[in-house]
Structure 1
Amino acid sequence: MRHALIPAAFAAALASSSAVAQSAPDVEDLVGARAAGGETQLLSRGYVSRHSTVVRDQRFTFWWNERTQRCISVSTVDGRYAAILGVPQANCSDSPGINEPAEHSTAPHAAEASDPQSLVLVCYGSGNRPTVNSQPNYVWNDSSHKWEWRNQVTSGTEGFNSDVQIELYGDHGRIHLGPKLVPPIHSGGDHGWWNLENLVVGRDQITASYRLNGMNKPKVTVDRRTGLITVKAMTDFSGRCDVGNWGNGQRRF
């Protein structure tokens, strides 16, 4: 089993239910730009780079804008900006003078009140998916009174190995699926990412669902003590998630 340490910025506690990932309209035009040119543009717009980390094949860099009091996460893949999101200010917590605005003083969401944190989980495991096979076979033809070659269609299942990545920001989250977990007919994905729905982040368990298509809405369950993850749908998956250190009797994350 490979292990991935969770970046400190991703483990920062959130102050309120409004502190979730959002779009960043002032810099959304930079999505798709080359990283070098994008950095120049971010600097010219008042952003300062704070820190970065690598998760799977992506580099996440956090930028802070003192004037707008905005923290953004920039995902870089193959030298280009793949996504830019406004994230909780705690992710830029090494910046001086960051304070939550007054409107953030409201009572936190129930899920956050019990366990208000932001997590990145990298999970590895295996699963089974349905398959359809076509095999040539001899079939007796009553009309011609002879044996003929025909393709016989059979259904079955096949096993596979895959990885899953989950990002949680308070009561907001998304899931990145390996190619084997994505059916041929799907909708709503964004470069392999799907938004999590019905998300409940409990002290010992995380549950959610996501919509691949109208008939396929997998359910996700993560045990925070053991690190085990299950995805129940037409294609099932189970594995283990890693984020960092844990002690005896403590939650893995």
Structure 2
Amino acid sequence: MTIATMNGRYDSITPTSPPDCRKPANARPVTDYSDRPAYRPDRPSAARDDDQPVVDGQPVSLGLVCFGDGSRDGIASGTSWTWNSRRDRYEYGRYNETRKEQFDASLTVQTWDGGGRIRLPKSLVPPLNSRGSDGWWDLSDVVVEPDTIRATYRLNGLNKPKVVIDRRTGRITVKGFSDYGFRGTCDTIGHEPRRF
């Protein structure tokens, strides 16, 4: 019998099995789990091999989404009053000028063994461009090192921006001709505990 007391009074009396006899009152029963199957946690769905993106037969080894600010040359036009010294009067007319445009943007980078690609926001695509494939531009000269990733892409005949990603901080810089560029911070796509 097992007798439980509370505040000096009997609280409950329950019959016990023979193996529990002659054991200290605070002893806990030992449960045998040997007949249970071993626990194997499921892998996160994003880490499954069948969910990994494949580009031209190459599995993507690193996917990044980068948020930041970009800049590029833009053409501004408008109307204004200007002084005409020959006619000795103000004249109303149109003007066009080149100026630097700044904006918030996000881009996506994917790399694989020996290559990669970058998806540019529309704000980083000038009117004259090499027409990437559905918004993606192929990365060339891709160098993946422990601390940095370097590459270039051909935006148009005059502009071949350089991409540098710091793998320790997650910072990305894109620098092209004139005022074309992007600076931001990247996050990995998936559930990796480290930055990338």
Q: Specify the structure having the higher radius of gyration (Cα).
A: 2
Retained in 2: the 8 A contact 1:173–1:199? yes
Retained in 1: the 8 A contact 2:170–2:187? yes
CA distance in 2, matches of 1:246, 1:229: 19
How large is the Cα RMSD of the aligned pairs?
2.4
| Cα pair distance change 1:6/1:216, threshold 3 Å | farther
Q: CA deviation at 1:143?
A: 4.5
Aligned residue-pair number: 149
State the percentage of identical aligned residues.
41
> How do 1:95-134 and structure 2 match up within 5 A?
118-134=61-77
Q: CA deviation at 1:6?
A: 10
* TM-score using structure 2 length: 0.67
What amino acid sits opposite 2:62 in the alignment? L
* TM-score using structure 1 length: 0.53
Give 1 or 2: higher helix fraction: 1
Structure 1, gaps ≥5 residues long: 10-49, 54-59, 61-72, 74-83, 92-117
- Aligned: 1:208 with 2:151: yes
CA distance in 1, matches of 2:74, 2:114: 35
Aligned to 2:28: none
Q: CA deviation at 1:131?
A: 2.1
CA distance in 2, matches of 1:223, 1:212: 22
Q: CA deviation at 1:219?
A: 0.4
Aligned to 1:85: 56
Q: Residue by residue, what CA displacement relative to the aligned partner does 1:20-73 show, whole Å, maximum 9, x if unpaired?
A: xxxxxxxxxxxxxxxxxxxxxxxxxxxxxx7337xxxxxx5xxxxxxxxxxxx3
Aligned to 1:180: 123
Structure 2, gaps ≥5 residues long: 1-43
SS at 1:123 equivalent? strand
Aligned to 2:186: 241
Retained in 2: the 8 A contact 1:6–1:120? no
CA distance in 1, matches of 2:141, 2:56: 21
